[in-house]
Structure 1
Amino acid sequence: MKASENNTMNGNYVRRSVFTTRAMVTVSLLSALSYVLMLLESPPYIGFLRLEFSDIPAILGAFWFGPAAGIVIEFIKNLIKAITATKTFGIGELANFVVSVAYVVPASLLFRKLKGKYKSVLAFSVATLSMMVIGFLMNYFVTVPMYAKMYGGIDNIVAAASMVPGVKNMFTLILIGITPFNLVKGIFLGIVGHLTYEMLKKVIHE
């Protein structure tokens, strides 16, 4: 067995170093795929939130090589998007990076540490909670205030979410408008991430 690999006794997964040549090539490919998937996004929700599959390659990379790989994939994806195709002067990409890392890191740490039939459920549940909390803080202190400066004030941002009952100011916008979206996104990523990992598990463990 190579020093960079640590096979578990029950064969559930293989830990590999993110610094091997194979790992760096794989992370690069996953980063490129993540960027492409980021461009295939849903129609906007309350102006600037979109659902897409770009975090799935980061989840796979983090499950395979560890949290650092997931962070690298998220960073490269958002950096390329900020340089080549941003519609928000990098604000959306910054928010996406922070919130996505808040999801991928705890998911991968728990998935690689836990054992048992329901480890995916627990890992993705904690990851979703983490994304909701970090997303709330990020939006309240950074993202929404920056959007407000860009689009002429917080009233314009709140007006974009007028279809959501109860949204009256920045706090309610984030609590009622954005946080439930992150809950749905976390569940969505968990289901798709788990199914994708299970389909590719044999390839990943070769």
Structure 2
Amino acid sequence: MTISGRAFDAVLSDLDGVIRFYDMAELEQLETSAGLPRGSTAEIAFAPETDLPLMRGEITKEQWIDSIARGLADRVPMERGRELGTTLAETKFRADDAVVGLLRQVRAAGLPVLLVTNATPWLADDLALLGLTGPAGLFDDVISSADLGITKPDRRIYETAAERAGTAPGRCLFVDDRQENVDAAEALGMTGLLYREPADLRGALTPLL
């Protein structure tokens, strides 16, 4: 059902790089002490062959850490690689209060807000740590790649999100920090927002609020 006078009838948001941000200081210190350039662990961890099985819910956290250690094995001992992988997996994170506040305004205005994310199997625990579930929850529904077994930019994850939002893709605003994910949403008729800072989201939501 289209809400009269609204530019969109649902807001679909990514998690990492939009709502959630990480503190990489501890990992960077460990990399330096191991003689590795900063970012080396993440480069291995988020390579498609290492990352996608996790995002599809096909492997556990421990298996992911082991795959990171194997990827670093030509540069550091396996034990040190597992330490780096574990530190990455347990990196502290925070929610951006400005973005959370904007999305809460959307819900207060009567529109559904859905999380659409390439996520680990422990996403529910992470959302609880961020304070985004329970009585003060931020989302009307959570579309997780680990639950569906498919990842963005597969069109099916967007179609599932629109269906659960109860509206047509063309009535959805999709927010993500990766261009390929925004492009896939726009190919289905969604309005895409390539996120860089809260002002981007605030501008896109002006017609709603």
TM-score, length-normalised on structure 1? 0.34
Higher relative contact order (CA 8 A, sep 6+): 2
More strand by share: 2
